[in-house]
Structure 1
Amino acid sequence: MSLTLSRATAVPAHSTQVFVLPLGTTTLPEAAATDLPAEARAYVEKALADKQAFVALNHFSHQHYFVVLEEKRTPELQLEALRKAGHQLHAALKKEKTEAVYLQNLSELPEAALILAEGLFLSAYEFEGYKTDEKSRTPAALTTIALVGEAASETQVTELQHLLEGVALARDLVNMPVNKLNAQQLADRLAEAGDQAGYQTEILDLAHIESLRMGGLLAVNLGSPEPPTFSILEWKPAGAVNPQPYVLVGKGVVYDTGGLSLKPTPGSMDMMKCDMAGGAAVGGVLYALAKNNVPLHVVGLVPATDNRPGGLAYTPGDVITMFTGLTVEVKNTDAEGRLLLADALGFAKKYEPALVIDLATLTGAAVRAVGTEAAAVMGTAAPDTTAQLLAAAHRVHERLVEFPLWDDYGDHMKSDIADLSNLGKAEAGHISAAKFLERFIEGTPWLHLDIAGPAYLTAPDSYRGKGGTGMGVRLLYEFLKRQVA
């Protein structure tokens, strides 16, 4: 994105400004009214008295906007209201073709302008796409969001810029079609991001994957005309505070036809370029951590391939041997993501990690359970660790709903001829899928995020937009950053 966050000590004359006002404001603070004629001030104060939370004042050469803090049930929901106000602000700025906007925080909430800027930045995201007709391209006018004075420090502005660039990276990857982003191209893009941010990347090719006997990844790849990749992203700064790394694992199915268990289309297969959203999120998190020099040792693992019915495609009934040596009976080739993840989770154990978190657009069951408003989470991490992740999810409004991982669900994944089946019952499919993954990460603290609902939206939703949302980047950055303290 060409949009830049910056910090300003003063506001140039005739600039478009935004003022964040305290909860319940009916009278404009002097700092927000110094250059307003009496009539304009009276207009704004009447709107505030009418409980309007967003007020626009057009001076023709520039505009003033007033955003009032809203009373919400929790502090986290108050922050979310500010992000949504950022989306509303973006629509107004876009209409006026505003190039630069100056944000001032006059409220009692110290981070109010930063959160507003976050919603504005995310709303301004647009996938560049592949249009060649200049008439159909509408380049965004907004290039600068400046936070004025005590609205934010230089450090805070820079940190937010890098974090949101990580979200934009993840969104871009998810929005790219498979003919522009196959497994090798995904690996290359992750490596390029590493070069820009400072993390190290190793890309394992087909021969290396075969030597490691990653049977799950290799089986899914059998129907593809293109080889798989296994990307290892590592951020290990000299001052890392954690002796054991955090390992993030992201599903990287760059396109999923369902294999021989072919998905129906339209309505199911047509959006399956998004099936690598977990891998994209891992790249976005590593980018933000490295760019902001967060003193944590973090490893990202992204197994990648497409899942097609061609060539020697694996079939229902096959038995495959996984990286850990466990055998799996394939009941459905559309339950492929768990096979890639299982190999990667087994590989993750070699790092002796403090915690493993995987992200995957894994099951329709998770979507049916919590919709696009949240992701499902379950795992074996300590309750306090899970609680910290849930708290981070509420702070950034990438919410999680915790589901049980009782031993009973293991029965769903039994096979008559192998250690496991790759398909459970119709009920609780997101839980039985996690129970399958648990077998490959036993003995290591682990959390599984099924992000199938919120990772990709088919209709616009406020600052989350349409298409790839970058789900997981802000969440895991928030969670990991707080492990430093």
Structure 2
Amino acid sequence: MSLLLRYAADFSASADTVFILPAGTTELPVAAAADLSEPARQYVADQLAADSKLIRINHYAHHHYYVVAADKKTPALAAEALRKSGHQLHAQLKADKVRNLFIQDLTDGGALPLAEGLALTAYQFEGYKTDEKSRQAAPLESVTLVGPHLSAERVQELQHVLDGVFLARDLVNAPLNKLNALQFAERMAAAGEEAGFHTEILDLVRIEALRMGGLLAVNQGSPEPPTFTIMEYKPEGATNKKPYVLVGKGVVFDTGGLSLKPTPASMDMMKCDMAGGAAVVGTLYALAKNQVPLHVIGLVPATDNRPGGLAFAPGDVITMYSGLTVEVMNTDAEGRLLLGDALAFAKKYDPELVLDFATLTGSAARAIGKEGIVCMGTADEDTLSALKKAGHATHERLVEFPLWDEYADHIKSDIADINNIGKAEAGAISAGKFLERFTDGYPWVHFDIAAPAFLTAPDSYRGKGGTGTAVRLTYEFLKGKA
């Protein structure tokens, strides 16, 4: 369930309205005092003097809210503060049972981040509840933005980006019995039909014909076949001659295979192990809906990882799509096997840049927590700088890890070209070093989203469960390349 954002040139004084006031406001502007009585104006003035950041006036027939923008060191941090204000405002709107809200922006562009925080907070996974009593009420239906720094186009762009985030969240929140590899591929194809990008789903026979040994090995223990989904958005007038390729890990559930994960500590939330693939389709959805003039391709190899049947085992040696051989030392290091095949496959497109997204390692999560995304790669400094800038703009911040040559020693094998797991130390880096072996011929950046992709407790506007992390970041970066 998502919130509808709209634009209007003006608003009614009798509507439920939030006024965004500039940082440091101590006196209520005339434009924000439309129908306030003198006592109400004095109350707001007193609250402003007391440095209140969220002020509420109940007119009984409607409500007025006042959000004071924060004075931060950078515009990006100021925007993030407004997103969090949107989250706080949502709780008050829910208590007041507000269905339709106007945002009157009296700042230099604060309406969009406030609306973003509101919408991301208002998201609810539809789920599978049948009892009306167990359903959560979601009274807020629409937000109409008003202000001189806005336009219908900018509001619609934000709506489409948020819809991409919500798509990713919905996919991550779906359990295995509602989203196996084939269903995941079909959902991506449906998103393509709606947004306007082409989708091709490779089945088991074609995956076998391509000899994608990593994907096939992980799939061996599953009673259900794998898929390899190719999504292509190629609008007329695309500004790039060579495509950007996005690769996403699509492990729809990860038991760890024969290297079984413990439960409840690790396995219970492993429906989220396809969050990288979800981020890819969410980004493509947003790009296509907003008609960003870029040629972009998405690749998502998908399967579950189970210990049954002919499951691959520690000590096995597999041959990847690229021809490299891999000694499997741990079947729970399976995501890099799928990604290795997809990254090697990406070379056929002669890409401008390849970005991969994966809930890959607990090591990344332990290193920086849910507050950021670990990245590393071979792209030039300008590209990494642009990615970091996009990360700050969306508050999906990046921490770059090194890929020094010495880390290659962590994945040396006695009997194969490489093995699939490194040492206890620098686990996120050795996983990246593994992936690097499949990226010859193009610049590449890897994003380990293990910590922020799925949250077990609510965290401001990111909520609980699937967050749709990396969609806003990647859209912001690619839009800058158009």
Instruction: Check whether TM > 0.5.
Output: yes
Report the Cα distance in structure 1 between the residues aligned to 2:438 and 2:79, rounded to whole angstroms. 38
Deviation at 1:52, TM superposition (A): 1.0
Deviation at 1:139, TM superposition (A): 3.3
1:33-65 CA-partner distances (Å, limit 9, x unpaired): 021101001000110011111111111221111
Alignment correspondent of 1:314: 312
Amino acid at match of 1:100: N
Alignment correspondent of 2:27: 27
Amino acid at match of 2:263: T
Question: Is the CA contact 1:19–1:67 (under 8 Å) kept in the aligned structure 2?
Answer: yes
Question: Is the CA contact 2:185–2:227 (under 8 Å) kept in the aligned structure 1?
Answer: yes
Deviation at 1:72, TM superposition (A): 1.5
Deviation at 1:8, TM superposition (A): 1.5
Which residue of 390, 393, 403 corresponds with 1:392? 390
Alignment correspondent of 1:43: 43
Alignment correspondent of 2:88: 88
Report the Cα distance in structure 2 between the residues aligned to 1:380 and 1:404, rounded to whole angstroms. 10
Which residue of 468, 471, 476 corresponds with 2:469? 471
Report the Cα distance in structure 1 between the residues aligned to 2:288 and 2:170, rounded to whole angstroms. 19
Report the Cα distance in structure 1 between the residues aligned to 2:98 and 2:415, rounded to whole angstroms. 65
Question: Is the CA contact 1:171–1:468 (under 8 Å) kept in the aligned structure 2?
Answer: yes
Alignment correspondent of 1:62: 62
Report the Cα distance in structure 2 between the residues aligned to 1:79 and 1:154, rounded to whole angstroms. 20
Task: Please list, as runs of the form range in 1=range in 2, the aligned pairs for 1:166-177 lying within 5 A after superposition.
Answer: 166-177=164-175
Report the Cα distance in structure 1 between the residues aligned to 2:147 and 2:446, rounded to whole angstroms. 41
Task: Please list, as runs of the form range in 1=range in 2, the aligned pairs for 1:350-389 lying within 5 A after superposition.
Answer: 350-389=348-387
Report the Cα distance in structure 2 between the residues aligned to 1:72 and 1:79, rounded to whole angstroms. 9
Report the Cα distance in structure 1 between the residues aligned to 2:77 and 2:12, rounded to whole angstroms. 33
Deviation at 1:74, TM superposition (A): 2.1
Identity %: 68
Deviation at 1:124, TM superposition (A): 0.2
Alignment correspondent of 1:243: 241
Alignment correspondent of 2:459: 461
Report the Cα distance in structure 2 between the residues aligned to 1:56 and 1:28, rounded to whole angstroms. 13
Report the Cα distance in structure 2 between the residues aligned to 1:383 and 1:222, rounded to whole angstroms. 40
Which residue of 291, 294, 297 corresponds with 1:293? 291
Helix, strand or coil for the counterpart of 2:177?
A: coil
Amino acid at match of 2:103: L
1:318-353 CA-partner distances (Å, limit 9, x unpaired): 000000000000000000000000000000010000
Amino acid at match of 2:142: T
1:263-316 CA-partner distances (Å, limit 9, x unpaired): 000110000000000000000000000000000000000000000000100000
Report the Cα distance in structure 2 between the residues aligned to 1:387 and 1:243, rounded to whole angstroms. 22
State the number of aligned residues. Answer: 482
Report the Cα distance in structure 2 between the residues aligned to 1:59 and 1:233, rounded to whole angstroms. 51
Question: Is the CA contact 2:376–2:403 (under 8 Å) kept in the aligned structure 1?
Answer: yes
Helix, strand or coil for the counterpart of 1:460?
A: coil
Report the Cα distance in structure 2 between the residues aligned to 1:314 and 1:66, rounded to whole angstroms. 59
Question: Is the CA contact 1:229–1:305 (under 8 Å) kept in the aligned structure 2?
Answer: yes
| Structure 2 unaligned blocks of 5 or more | none
| Structure 1 unaligned blocks of 5 or more | none
Alignment correspondent of 1:273: 271
Report the Cα distance in structure 2 between the residues aligned to 1:13 and 1:28, rounded to whole angstroms. 16
Question: Is the CA contact 2:277–2:357 (under 8 Å) kept in the aligned structure 1?
Answer: yes
1:57-89 CA-partner distances (Å, limit 9, x unpaired): 111221111111111222211110000000011
Question: Is the CA contact 2:2–2:122 (under 8 Å) kept in the aligned structure 1?
Answer: no
Amino acid at match of 1:64: H
TM-score after normalising by structure 1:
0.98
Helix, strand or coil for the counterpart of 2:182?
A: helix
Deviation at 1:391, TM superposition (A): 0.6
Which residue of 256, 259, 283 corresponds with 1:258? 256
Report the Cα distance in structure 1 between the residues aligned to 2:359 and 2:386, rounded to whole angstroms. 22
Report the Cα distance in structure 1 between the residues aligned to 2:347 and 2:384, rounded to whole angstroms. 19
Deviation at 1:138, TM superposition (A): 2.5
Helix, strand or coil for the counterpart of 2:457?
A: strand
Report the Cα distance in structure 2 between the residues aligned to 1:349 and 1:55, rounded to whole angstroms. 55
Report the Cα distance in structure 1 between the residues aligned to 2:59 and 2:206, rounded to whole angstroms. 63
Question: Is the CA contact 1:104–1:151 (under 8 Å) kept in the aligned structure 2?
Answer: no
Report the Cα distance in structure 1 between the residues aligned to 2:141 and 2:34, rounded to whole angstroms. 26
Alignment correspondent of 1:76: 76
Task: Please list, as runs of the form range in 1=range in 2, the aligned pairs for 1:59-458 lying within 5 A after superposition.
Answer: 59-107=59-107, 109=108, 111-458=109-456
Range moving further from structure 2, 295-304 or 73-82: 73-82
Report the Cα distance in structure 1 between the residues aligned to 2:313 and 2:398, rounded to whole angstroms. 34
Report the Cα distance in structure 2 between the residues aligned to 1:150 and 1:140, rounded to whole angstroms. 30
Give the superposed CA RMSD: 0.8
Report the Cα distance in structure 2 between the residues aligned to 1:38 and 1:468, rounded to whole angstroms. 46
TM-score after normalising by structure 2:
0.99
Deviation at 1:11, TM superposition (A): 1.9
Deviation at 1:14, TM superposition (A): 2.2
Helix, strand or coil for the counterpart of 2:333?
A: coil
Structure 1 segments (4+ residues) deviating >4 Å: none
1:1-50 CA-partner distances (Å, limit 9, x unpaired): 35210012232352110111111001011000021101001000110011
Amino acid at match of 1:179: N
Range moving further from structure 2, 26-35 or 146-155: 146-155
Question: Is the CA contact 2:2–2:124 (under 8 Å) kept in the aligned structure 1?
Answer: no
1:183-216 CA-partner distances (Å, limit 9, x unpaired): 0000000000000000000000000000000000
Deviation at 1:151, TM superposition (A): 4.8
Report the Cα distance in structure 2 between the residues aligned to 1:75 and 1:169, rounded to whole angstroms. 28
